[in-house]
Amino acid sequence: MEQLYRELEASVREYRPKDDLTALEKAYRFASKYHEGQVRNSGETYMAHPVMVAHILASMRMDLVAMQTGLLHDVVEDTSVTSEQVRKEFGDEVARCVDGVTKLTKLDGISAEDRHAESFRKMLLAMVEDIRVIMVKLADRMHNMRTLGYLSPERRERIARETIEIYAPIAHRLGMGKVRGELEDLAFQHLEPDSYQEILEAIESHRAANEEFLIEIRQQVEADLRREHIPARIEGRVKRPYSVFQKLKRQKISIDQVYDLMALRIITDSVKNCYAALGVIHNKWRPIPGRIKDFIAIPRPNLYQSLHTSVVTPHGHTFEVQIRTEEMHRIAEEGIAAHWKYKEGRRGPAADDQRIAWLRHLVEWQREVQDPGEFMSNLKVDLYPEEAYTFTPRGKVIVLPRDATPIDFAYAIHSDVGNTCVGAKVNGRIVPLRSSLRNGDIVEIMTQPGHEPSKDWLAYVKTTRARNKIRHVINASERIKAIDIGQKYLDKESRRLGVQLGRVTKADFERVSSEYGYSKIEDLYAALGYGKYSARQVLAKLAPGQVGEEQPEARPALPPDGASGGAPQQGAVQRGEGEGVIKVRGIDDLMVYRAKCCNPIRGDAIVGYVTRGKGVAVHSKMCPNVQSLMYDVERKIEVEWARSAEDTFQVRLIVHTDDRPGMLNHLTSVLYAENTNIRNLEAKTELDHDRAMVEMTVDVRDKKQLEKLVAAMRRISGVRDVERLFK
């Protein structure tokens, strides 16, 4: 083991000659001490695994923090060591990285049938704050895949599937072609042993012929390029088993029909020479139409660049040629782990391109850094800043907007779960329903049958789905309430007016309902309950002989209903005044007006009260009438100020002042300065000789403007108090 570690040191020294490796050795000693006695399934001592992970990281030329993390990556998960301990011994950065890897490791093995691979990958990436965490995780996975043979068939299958669905695509996304290729081939070998064997044999059986062919082709290309003065390095290779397998599947052909198991790669010095080399190739062999791809002009989202073409020899052999510069080659092989010197900024409209914009920042940032080895440190990533990836206890990923709440989560699962939601646990702890969810949160929703959503939820849910579902339920229950109120109202009024409702037939009810444009009697009751019509109006139609029909234009001037106590007397209600300015939460078609008793203005806390037949009266919550109204709780209804900004409200004010000259001038100039329209202004001297009172009616837009105005008036010397009149 010691030997394996020394080899690690040696390879790190090669690319980081100036680094002090004391901290690396410390991590090695620390991990060895705590993994002491643990054995892997292969029978090896456990410590071989973290050391090999660090080796893989060294081959990616990662920095010391990453390497320390590699050595320590399993201590918190698999030994008695706490993350606090790691922090004390190795500092914040290493501790954070180890925590990051531990967090990702906990996600391994989450029920595969539930999770959607694409969102799961995104979630993994979104959870990673430091790119080194994903590097260590990939190295960990790579070593586990190399030693997979020692596990039970079930675990092997599970881990291999996870690798091909989650980790290989992540490596691909980060542009790490080599890591991706190896992960895919290792997983493929375990998932489809027969196909793997078949392809491997096919490749093997033609190996001699293929290699001979490659050597020959290669010599010809080399000669041609030399003649054109194009400097180039040429690699001939046989394709990877998994990529051949995918080709077979994609083209629905058998292995005997695959001719281009071989590929040639030309690595040259400049973009210009890439195209020149392509010309040379096409001059020599016939290109297959539709197979020429220019990923130099249009790089792949993971920044992969190359020219691809497939050509046919006169003997009918096809093979693929890739042409790229050294730099492109390194990016293709190592991706994000490469030391980039990517030149030009390019622009692409695709959302995915923007998401990977951080890669470009990385590149730009890299240019300013003297020591290319420092390139990975302190690198924070936020791949999907607009989304939060959360999941159910079973591991199903739920993608929500950032700052979504457990309620959004509940509705994302099912509307019944949302409707009956009474609480939530996030990562095992109970949290308020309005709290924000974060990447990687495991959310458990507690429900209670029969529970109904609260209107308050509308204020903090983030998804349209949740909002619509909540509205729907609230509307339905408001309607039930309204139907009930409507029925009782009609009942009471019929008794008062001496109409015997019992004699009215169902057919009569249906007729009247349809006169009002409703297909169901219930709708008529609801309309009554919402206060759209007075019961008297309806009764006049139901029992035409017994109740006089009202003038259609006349506003119902019903006496206040005895039972509702202090129902406001709105002798001179101006109809329609409140409409458009105030709306009833969750309900669209209700008549609304501002109660004259308190004359609320925009910004005042308000409450609605369903009147008998006159719509919804909106009172200030401070209104004394409200107190007496509220014992009839079922008529209370939530209202809010609508958004329109144009309206103004009349407010009456009384200013108490010292009786001194020029006071009116002062007041009017303040009103003028605050841009307030004065409707009426009247000064009165109080009996108490040196005091005066100015009464005024002004137009204000909202409470805020009023408060500003009142404050300005109070600053005038001689003004003692300003009082708002509610009548």
Catalytic residues: 77-78
User: Cβ closer to Mn ion: 74 or 604?
Assistant: 74
- The token pair at 174 is 């980060």
* Pairwise CA distance, residues 123 & 477, whole Å: 38
Which string of x and - marks every residue 365-384 that binds Mn ion (by CB under 5 A)?
A: --------------------
Only segment of 69-77, 240-248, 275-283, 677-685 that touches Mn ion (CB under 5 A): 69-77
| Residue nearest to Mn ion as judged by C-beta position | 140
- Is residue 162 a contact point for Mn ion (CB under 5 A)? no
User: Cβ closer to Mn ion: 99 or 327?
Assistant: 99
User: Smallest gap, in angstroms, from Cβ of residue 380 to Mn ion?
Assistant: 24
Only segment of 68-76, 200-208, 553-561, 693-701 that touches Mn ion (CB under 5 A): 68-76
User: Smallest gap, in angstroms, from Cβ of residue 156 to Mn ion?
Assistant: 16
If one counts every other C-beta atom within 10 angstroms of the C-beta of residue 204, the result is 11
Beta-bridged to residue 16, according to DSSP, are none
**Is the separation of the CB atoms in 182 and 142 below 8 Å?**
yes
User: Smallest gap, in angstroms, from Cβ of residue 98 to Mn ion?
Assistant: 11
- Looking from the CA of 266 toward its CB, the CA atoms found within 13 Å total 33
Binding residue for Mn ion, selected from 28, 52, 57, 74, defined by CB under 5 A: 74
User: Cβ closer to Mn ion: 63 or 74?
Assistant: 74
* Pairwise CA distance, residues 3 & 563, whole Å: 93
**Angle of CA points 497, 548, 530, to nearest 5°:** 70
Only segment of 133-141, 505-513, 542-550, 695-703 that touches Mn ion (CB under 5 A): 133-141
Q: Which of 575, 524, 528 is nearest to 554 (CA)?
A: 575
CA 663 to chain centre: 58
**Is the separation of the CB atoms in 549 and 540 below 8 Å?**
yes
- The token pair at 396 is 């199903």
User: Smallest gap, in angstroms, from Cβ of residue 109 to Mn ion?
Assistant: 13
Strand ranges inside 281-386, DSSP E: 286-287, 293-294, 307-312, 318-325
Only segment of 135-143, 263-271, 321-329, 352-360 that touches Mn ion (CB under 5 A): 135-143
Map residue 80 onto helix, strand or coil. coil
Give the chain's end-to-end CA distance (angstroms, integer).
Answer: 90
* Pairwise CA distance, residues 285 & 717, whole Å: 97
Beta-bridged to residue 606, according to DSSP, are 620
User: Smallest gap, in angstroms, from Cβ of residue 101 to Mn ion?
Assistant: 8
If one counts every other C-beta atom within 10 angstroms of the C-beta of residue 515, the result is 11
User: Smallest gap, in angstroms, from Cβ of residue 140 to Mn ion?
Assistant: 4
User: Smallest gap, in angstroms, from Cβ of residue 137 to Mn ion?
Assistant: 9
Beta-bridged to residue 695, according to DSSP, are 654, 682
Question: Binding-site residue total for Mn ion (CB under 5 A)?
Answer: 2
Backbone φ, ψ for residue 172 (5° rounding)? -60, -45
User: Smallest gap, in angstroms, from Cβ of residue 191 to Mn ion?
Assistant: 21
**Is the separation of the CB atoms in 323 and 278 below 8 Å?**
yes
Beta-bridged to residue 423, according to DSSP, are 446
**Is the separation of the CB atoms in 719 and 655 below 8 Å?**
yes
User: Smallest gap, in angstroms, from Cβ of residue 296 to Mn ion?
Assistant: 38
* Pairwise CA distance, residues 597 & 719, whole Å: 27
Q: Tell me the residue type at 634.
A: E
Only segment of 66-74, 340-348, 354-362, 655-663 that touches Mn ion (CB under 5 A): 66-74
User: Smallest gap, in angstroms, from Cβ of residue 392 to Mn ion?
Assistant: 26
User: Cβ closer to Mn ion: 4 or 622?
Assistant: 4
- The token pair at 394 is 């079973």
Binding residue for Mn ion, selected from 63, 93, 99, 140, defined by CB under 5 A: 140
User: Cβ closer to Mn ion: 130 or 320?
Assistant: 130
User: Cβ closer to Mn ion: 72 or 670?
Assistant: 72
Cβ contacts of 628-633, under 8 Å, gap ≥ 24? 628/565, 628/566, 629/564, 629/565, 629/566, 629/567, 629/568, 631/565, 632/563, 632/564, 632/565
User: Smallest gap, in angstroms, from Cβ of residue 449 to Mn ion?
Assistant: 44
Only segment of 7-15, 140-148, 470-478, 601-609 that touches Mn ion (CB under 5 A): 140-148
- The token pair at 292 is 């020429």
User: Cβ closer to Mn ion: 50 or 578?
Assistant: 50
Which string of x and - marks every residue 26-65 that binds Mn ion (by CB under 5 A)?
A: ----------------------------------------
Only segment of 86-94, 138-146, 245-253, 272-280 that touches Mn ion (CB under 5 A): 138-146
Which helix (H) or strand (E) segment is 426 a member of?
strand 421-426
User: Cβ closer to Mn ion: 76 or 466?
Assistant: 76
User: Cβ closer to Mn ion: 109 or 548?
Assistant: 109
Residues 449-508 that bind Mn ion (CB under 5 A): none
User: Cβ closer to Mn ion: 85 or 105?
Assistant: 105
If one counts every other C-beta atom within 10 angstroms of the C-beta of residue 271, the result is 17
The CA distances from residue 166 to 137, 153, 243, 265, in Å, are 12, 20, 17, 28
User: Cβ closer to Mn ion: 74 or 334?
Assistant: 74
* Pairwise CA distance, residues 362 & 377, whole Å: 11
- Looking from the CA of 65 toward its CB, the CA atoms found within 13 Å total 25
Only segment of 115-123, 139-147, 287-295, 370-378 that touches Mn ion (CB under 5 A): 139-147
- The token pair at 11 is 């390879």
* Pairwise CA distance, residues 280 & 127, whole Å: 47
User: Smallest gap, in angstroms, from Cβ of residue 100 to Mn ion?
Assistant: 13
- Looking from the CA of 699 toward its CB, the CA atoms found within 13 Å total 9
The CA distances from residue 216 to 17, 159, 220, 701, in Å, are 41, 41, 6, 86
Q: Tell me the residue type at 677.
A: N
Only segment of 73-81, 269-277, 393-401, 654-662 that touches Mn ion (CB under 5 A): 73-81
Backbone φ, ψ for residue 241 (5° rounding)? -55, -45
User: Smallest gap, in angstroms, from Cβ of residue 79 to Mn ion?
Assistant: 12
Please give, one letter per residue, the 3-state secondary structure of 123-183: HHHHHCCEHHHHHHHHHHHHHHHHCHHHCCHHHHHHHHHHHHHHHHHHHHHCCCHHHHHHH
User: Cβ closer to Mn ion: 100 or 578?
Assistant: 100
User: Cβ closer to Mn ion: 74 or 185?
Assistant: 74
Query: Residue numbers of the site for Mn ion (CB under 5 A)?
Result: 74, 140
